[in-house]
Structure 1
Amino acid sequence: MSRFKELWRASITATKKALTWNAEDLIPPSEKYIFRFNSMEELKRWHLYSDSEYGGIFSGNLALDLAEDSKWRLNRSGFCGMRSKKFNGFIDLDAYDTLALKIKGDGRSYISTIYTENWVNSPGQQEDNSWQAFVFVPKDNWYIAKIPLDQYLPTWRGNVIDADLEMNPSRIVGMSLSVNAEGGVPGAKSGPGDFKVEIDWIKALRTE
């Protein structure tokens, strides 16, 4: 068979496949698992800054005071968090509009953070961009919290940035969940004391 005929047949085959493609094959699934807290290997993907155990449990005690002999002198206390380790590359959530977490907890308000690639490439600015939203965790019952990505606000070290910025969901480098003794959604438990939240999974959803 001549080289021309081989190319011609290959072209015809490719054209037939293209004509039989279903548009749904080009659309990502309506949901995408990001984390499933069902194994020790999965937990190793996170840095935990409090007591933790198998099963995705995040717990501890919040205190507003520091011992007089403490070497730390903080303006803000009563804060604890857990953060995922750096991804190998990026998580691309450009096809999705909502982050969902299956959680069970203590009636407190937690802070969900998404970290994206830094838009500033300079030696003095190496931290990832952070986008934060409050999530309420009802007490004692499993609950699926859904947070639209456009509700995440740009922040710098816990403070909201007063600027017209948009998240780039195709360049996500990490996530975290944290708790603060003060602040949160109205009606949520606050103040010093014990806290505990269990996490089953984190997903990205396409709801629109």
Structure 2
Amino acid sequence: MSKVRALWQASLTATKKALTWNIEDLIPPSERYIYYFNSKDELKKWHLYSDSEYGGLSSAALEITDTGKEQSGTGVFSGNLSLDVTDGTKWNISRSGFCGMRSKKFDGFIDLDPYDTIALKIKGDGRSYISTIYTENWVNSPGQMEDNSWQAFVAVPKDNWVVTKIPLAHYLPTWRGSVIEADIEMNPQRVVGMSLSVNAEGGVPGTQTGPGDFRLEIDWIKALRTTQ
């Protein structure tokens, strides 16, 4: 009888362990790295853009700091913002003085539904930057092929590493840089990419503005779940 009881107890213990593992496995971790700027391979996930594509004279670069090792660098997004335009440009450019780094599209989608906040570990120059989340377009028509964009300002103190946390609810829907006055919500299950950008004008009051050099150092970008 004791052997039967021992076998039953062992079976019960194993069942409890299996159930506990399954329950924990169904709960996503409280944080998820999306980008980690620790090597040159990370840069292959991004491309640069600026007003130079439309006749402007701004320029940008994206590099990894040289630590003498293959890993554990940080990303440096830097360049120069200019309000000037090329003489005789064919583009009817409405504004200049902007640069950005945009991620290449994910292979599929990133599901951020279990999370409520985007966190960035960054060191800046006192300027205001723009964090953008791109989601799958909700309009399925030939004339509306661009991804939906959701943007939030990031005020970056000068010369100090900070972890900036932006609730997903603070990202506003935009169309080519302008906020859309519409009652729509982000679909965090269908995130296709992200970007960081900087403008010579506008931004958070009190931050540095105007043409000139910019520099933003980035360690990582991650998603957080701050509420249970």
1:8 corresponds to: none
For residue 85 of structure 2, what is the amino acid of its counterpart? L
Q: State the 1:19 CA deviation.
A: 7.1
Higher mean C-alpha deviation, range 127-136 or range 53-62: 53-62
SS of 2:189 mapped into structure 1: coil
Match of 1:64 among 76, 83, 90: 83
Structure with bigger RCO (C-alpha 8 Å, 6+ apart): 1
Q: Once the 2 structures are TM-superposed, how far is the Cα of residue 21 of structure 1 from its aligned partner?
A: 2.1
Q: What displacement does 1:47 show? A: 0.6
Counterpart CA distance in 1 for 2:82 and 2:18 is 64
Structure 1: give runs of 5+ residues left out of the alignment: 1-11
Q: Is the 8 A contact 2:63 2:76 kept in 1?
A: yes
- Could you state the TM-score of these two structures normalised by the residue count of structure 1? 0.89
Please give the per-residue CA displacement for 1:78-131, whole angstroms capped at 9, x wherever unaligned: 111010001000001100000000001100000000000000111111000000
1:41 alignment counterpart: 41
Q: Percent identity?
A: 73
Task: Provide the rounded CA distance (Å) in 2 between the counterparts of 1:117 and 1:17.
Answer: 41
Moved more, 20-29 or 113-122: 20-29
Alignment TM-score, normalising by the size of structure 2: 0.81
Asked if 1:96 corresponds to 2:139, the answer is no
Is the 2:116–2:226 contact (alpha carbons within 8 Å) kept by the matching residues of 1? yes
RMSD over aligned CA atoms reads 1.8
Q: Answer yes or no: is 1:157 the counterpart of 2:156.
A: no
Task: Give the residue type in structure 2 aligned to 1:20.
Answer: L
Give the letter aligned to residue 29 of structure 1: P
Alignment of 1:20-169 (within 5 A): 20-21=19-20, 23-49=23-49, 50-54=60-64, 55-169=74-188
Query: How much does 1:17 deviate?
Result: 5.8
Structure 2, unpaired ranges of 5+: 1-10, 50-59, 65-73
User: Residue 64 of structure 1: CA displacement?
Assistant: 1.0
Aligned AA (2:150): W
Task: Give the letter aligned to residue 37 of structure 2.
Answer: F
Report which stretch shifted further, 28-37 or 53-62: 53-62
3-state SS in 2 of match to 1:200: strand
Question: How many angstroms apart in 2 are the aligned matches of 1:20 and 1:179?
Answer: 49
The residue identity in structure 1 corresponding to 2:83 is L
**Deviation at residue 18 of structure 1 after TM alignment:** 8.4
Q: Structure 1 residue 53: deviation in Å?
A: 1.4
SS of 1:170's equivalent in the other structure is: helix
Question: What is the DSSP-based 3-state SS (H/G/I as helix, E as strand, rest coil) of the residue aligned with 1:44?
Answer: helix
- Provide the aligned length of Structure 1 versus Structure 2: 196
Work out whether 1:16 is the aligned partner of 2:26: no
Question: Partners of 1:102 and 1:179 in 2: how far apart?
Answer: 17
Q: Paired residue for 1:7?
A: none
Distance 2:138 2:63 in 1: 35
